[in-house]
Amino acid sequence: MRLPTFPLYFRAGRPGVLLFAIACGTICFGALQPTKLSGDAQTPDLAPRTAAAILQMLREVHYRGDTPLSAEFAGDVQSAFLDALDDQGLILYEQDRKELLRIPLNLNALARNTADRESLRFFEESAARFRHRLVESESILETAADAQLDFESDATLILPGAKRGLLDFFGPANPDYARSKAELLARWRGRLQYRTMQSIYFGHAPSNSGQFRARLAEHSEAEREKVVSKERRRIAALLRPERGSRRLELRIADLFLNTLVARFDPHSGFFSNAQKEQFEASLSASALSFGVLLERSLSGETRVTRLVPGGPAWKAGKINAGDRVLRIRFPEQRGRNAAGPREINPADLAPGEVARVLDGDASRIVQLRIRKADGRIIDVTLYKQKLSVEDNIVSSFILEGPRRVGYIYLPAFYAEFENPGAPGCASDVAREIIKLKRENIEALILDLRNNGGGSLREAADLSGIFIDEGPLYLQRQRDGRLGVLKDLNRGAIYRGPLVVMVNGQSASAPEFFAAAMRDYRRALIVGSPTFGKATSQVILPIPPGATREPGFLKLTTNQYYDLRGESHQARGVKPDIFLPDAGAIVPGESDLPHALRNDSVSKTGLRYTPGDTRGHERVRSLAAARVNADPAFERVAELAEEIADFQAEHHGRIPLGAEPFFEQLRSFVELYENFEDARRRDSRSYTVQTHGYDRNIESIDSYLRERNAERKKQIFEDIYIDEAYRVAADAVVNFIE
């Protein structure tokens, strides 16, 4: 089977950024009592031919495509699917799980395309039972909502999975299912009380436990009704049909397919057409956008933070920063029961979902209901147009101190995937370097922290900016064959001292770039070990007819190695100069289920000329002495360890009594705020200046002036950039080309 391919992707999916996500939880759905289900509901949304086509593509294309589809493998898929289906343990019972896992899943028969619907009975029974339990959850929700709130309780709520619990990174990996109706009802009561207390804590900002109790007495009933109302809407939306089909079954089918594909490795997955477009937009320097940036506060309010000049929201002339968004409406899409346009209450979304729903939605028109600062409520209609993706914009500044150092921040390795061959991030970085060289910089800092990856080609092109030519990485295919990715362009744009900043959220493309710079001894790598993703993916269309709508698979096809034959897979690129950071509280590749293991390949005799490292040794020694003596870095390390200990101690356990709840939450908020504060300190080494090119534009562009002022403040207060500057200054003195 010949498959047309889409461009090569090289991203970890923006891995676990350390987010303080206490107030962004959503409650999953519950159930009442176990009943025997007939399994006679037919689900046309996942046919044997769909699973067969996907398994065939996995077998032919995926790096692990020769993995045996054994009974044990199928059992892993079944177990992971059920865990994901009810990741909070509020819908299915333990008995449900046992019964469903007894249904065989014959993946070999599906792969041979010799199976009938009986081969997918596990999926269909699971979907039918989940729907049945979800229907029951409407009544259990009402029963739980009628219970008296008990703020003197000594009970503890356990957040299984904790995907959206008290903290994003709390809790065990798998849910624990209820064994009885009474246990499930107690879970729902506890969950509603927890969400009510959480809402009051963040919405009313009590300064002590006494104030917290007073706010609970005054507002708890109203806040609980908001929580219950939200869950009623959520359950009802899932149970109602969408586009002539059953919305719930469509989602469950997507989940099953993703679970199946992810069993081969964590970076492979199933995409709908809309999801594919959203993924590509996230890797692009430009995308269709409404030109309005929204932010959801901890108290649940969604406000306008910024308008993109020249964009739809800016041109409308009715929206201002600080306006509150009350409703998001898509007039081109049908809502519940096709009774009218699709509408979304922003309060129903987690903070990270707001931007995705707005700019990632397939609709080209949105109507926002806005509350102005003076209390007026207006409706504004916006039409998408292609704009720069703010998160992917390269920016550069001058760090002015004893040495004049250029600073460039690259947030993603973006490319124009709709226009192969068009300039990407490497060209943008080269342009910024030219601007900085006109300012007579003596060294350069390239900041790749929190860079989740992107295009492999752009990573190679960026490497070519700093070396003459030569091999960059080794690529191993599924059959073991090795290839070499090279920089084919002679000459370098920048040859001076170079510092590359990385951290545990630098994944994929930035890791390859950093490894290449290390192999050539071209840069000093500063920060903490990177994420550890040394694989690349392609997006392939699923053959027509295999799915109801166009579908795509993102599949891992290659693993990569540095020029010595070593891989950073599941290990990360270790910096030359280590700076204490979040450490163990940020997950890496090795924490992901079914991640490819680390290995190496035999030396290939590649010929390349590394730089002279004599100056590097002196710079590393000076930096180590500074960092070890710096109380700020010592404090960061201490607080990261305290946060890890806090997680281990509480492990997703939330007290439901008013005072212990307040104290636990206050303790963590204080701990996290201290951690953030410890990483900020006004630089004693430099001031941050705008280079001449941007200064000219700032004189006529207030938006750029505002954005640059905000960015310069962040750079001036960042202790990691401060140390990177000192490393760069030392490198100027000790630089040997």
Question: 64-95 burial by CB neighbour count: b if 16+ within 10 A, else e?
Answer: bbeeebeeebbeebbebbbbbbbbbbbbbbee
pLDDT at site 309: 58
Checking if the pLDDT of 314 tops 80, the result is: no
The helices-and-strands tally (H runs, E runs) of the chain is 20, 26
DSSP secondary structure string for all residues of 66-86: T----HHHHHHHHHHHHHHHT
The answer to whether the CB of 272 falls within 8 A of the CB of 553 is no
The β-bridge partners of 387 are 287
| Confidence bin at 271 (pLDDT 50/70/90) | confident
Query: Is 269 inside any structural domain?
Result: no
The CATH number for 626's domain is 3.90.226.10
Could you tell me if residue 448 is inside a domain? Answer: yes
Are residue 426 and residue 575 in the same domain, yes or no?
Answer: yes
Could you tell me if residue 6 is inside a domain?
no
Tokens of 308: 């993109």
Mean local confidence (pLDDT), 566-591: 90
Separation between Cα atoms, residue 312 and residue 302, nearest integer Å: 19
> Can you say how many angstroms the Cα of residue 291 is from the centroid of all Cα atoms in its chain?
21
The residues pairing with 93 across neighbouring beta strands, listed in sequence order, are 178
Same domain, 74 and 118: yes
- Please identify, among 206, 229, 262, the residue that sits at the C-terminal boundary of a domain: 262
* Contacting residues for 445 by C-beta, under 8 A, at least 6 apart: 399, 405, 406, 407, 408, 499, 500, 501, 721, 724, 725, 728
Distances from the Cα of 62 to the Cα of 52, 267, 449, 478, 532, angstroms: 15, 11, 29, 7, 19
Residue 304 tokens read as 């306008």
Question: Residue 718: pLDDT above 60?
Answer: yes
Residue matched to tokens 């900016």:
465
DSSP states of 642-670: HHHHHHHHHTTEEE-SHHHHHHHHHHHHH
Measured over the CA atoms of residue 94, residue 98, residue 101 and residue 103, the dihedral's sign is: negative
Q: What is the mean pLDDT of residues 646-668?
A: 88
Average pLDDT over residues 7-32: 30
- Give the residue ranges of DSSP H helices in 240-289: 247-262, 273-282
Among candidate residues 372, 388, 404, the one where a domain is terminated:
388
Residue ending a domain, choose from 388, 412, 435: 388
pLDDT in tens, 125-142: 999 999 999 999 999 999
pLDDT tens-digit profile of 191-228?
A: 899 989 988 887 777 889 999 999 999 999 999 998 89
Q: Can you name the residues that pair with 540 across neighbouring β-strands?
A: 553
User: What is the model's pLDDT at position 336?
Assistant: 47
Burial 362-385 (b: 16+ CB within 10 A, else e): ebebbebbbeeeeeeeeebebebe
CB 233 within 8 A of CB 27: no
Alpha-carbon gap, residue 101 to 360, rounded angstroms: 36
Q: How many CB atoms are closer than 10 A to CB 338? A: 14
Q: What is the mean pLDDT of residues 46-60?
A: 86
Predicted pLDDT of residue 25? 23
In angstroms, the CA 148 to CA 32 distance is 19
Q: Would residue 17 count as lying in a domain?
A: no
- Provide mean pLDDT across the span 452-464: 91
Give the pLDDT confidence score for residue 118 in this predicted structure. Answer: 78
Question: Residues 247, 136: one domain?
Answer: yes
Average pLDDT, the chain: 82
How far CA 224 is from CA of 190, 298, 663, in Å, comes to 12, 17, 21
Per residue in 467-479, pLDDT tens?
998 999 999 999 9
Predicted TM-score of the model (pTM): 0.82
**What's the CATH code of the domain at 337?**
2.30.42.10
HEC-encoded secondary structure of 209-222: HHHHHHHHHHHHHH
Query: What is the sign of the dihedral through the CA atoms of 132, 550, 12 and 432?
Result: negative
pLDDT at 214: 95
Q: Grade residue 328 by pLDDT with cuts at 50, 70 and 90.
A: confident
Helix (H, G, I), strand (E, B) or coil at 399: strand
The count of domains in the chain is 3
HSE (CB half, 13 Å, CA atoms) of 163? 14
* 681 band by pLDDT with thresholds 50, 70 and 90: very high
Reply yes or no on whether the pLDDT at 285 is more than 70.
no
Q: Is 666 exposed, middle or buried (0-12, 13-18, 19+ CB in 10 A)?
A: middle
374, 417: one domain: no
| Residues 222 and 322 placed together within one structural domain of the fold | no
Rounded average pLDDT over 603-631: 89
Average pLDDT for 399-413:
94
Out of 87-101, 231-245, 250-264, least confident range = 231-245
CA nearest to 651, candidates 185, 150, 156: 156
Q: Which long-range contacts (CB under 8 A, 24 or more apart) does 219-225 make?
A: 220/149, 220/151, 220/196, 221/149, 223/196, 223/199, 224/145, 224/149, 224/192, 224/193, 224/196, 225/145
The contacts of residue 315 (CB under 8 Å, 6+ apart) are: 291
Read off the DSSP letter of residue 149.
P
The pLDDT value given to residue 595: 94
Q: In the structure encoding, which two tokens stand for residue 725, read together? A: 């500057």
Asked if residue 189 and residue 72 are part of one domain, the reply reads yes
Number of other residues whose CB lies within 10 A of the CB of residue 223: 21
Cβ-proximal residues to 156 (8 Å cutoff; 6+ apart), any chain: 653, 654, 655, 656
Position 567 scores a pLDDT of 96
Mean pLDDT of 97-118: 86
Same domain for 250 and 326, yes or no, is no
Is residue 274 a part of any domain in this protein? no
In terms of domains, do 96 and 195 share one? Answer: yes
pLDDT, greater one: 162 or 350: 350
Whether residue 295 is found in the same domain as residue 153: no
Residues 428 and 399 in one domain: yes
- Which helix (H) or strand (E) segment is 395 a member of? strand 395-400
Mean pLDDT of 567-573: 96
For residues 426 and 387, give the distance between their C-alpha atoms in angstroms, rounded to a whole number. Answer: 19
Residue type, 274: A
Residue 650 is assigned to a structural domain of this protein: yes
Query: Exposure of 533 by Cβ count < 10 A (0-12 exposed, 13-18 middle, 19+ buried)?
Result: buried
User: Who contacts 46 (Cβ-Cβ below 8 Å, separation ≥6)?
Assistant: 120, 123, 124, 249, 253, 256, 257
> What are the helix (H) ranges across 592-630?
614-629
pLDDT at position 45: 52
Q: Is the residue at 623 inside a domain? A: yes
Question: Please, are residues 120 and 253 in contact by the beta-carbon 8 Å criterion?
Answer: no
Same domain (yes/no): 486, 553: yes
Q: Are 215 and 204 in contact (CB under 8 A)?
A: yes
377 and 408 part of one domain: no
* Confidence check: pLDDT of 719 > 70: yes
Query: What is the per-residue pLDDT for 9?
Result: 39
> What average pLDDT does range 450-471 have in this prediction?
91
- Say yes or no to pLDDT of 300 above 60: no
Domain holding 371, by residue range, is 286-388
The span from the CA of 227 to the CA of 224, in Å, is: 5
Identify whether 272 is part of a domain. no
CA gap 294, 320 in Å, rounded: 11
Which residue, 400, 392, 283, is CA-closest to 8?
A: 283
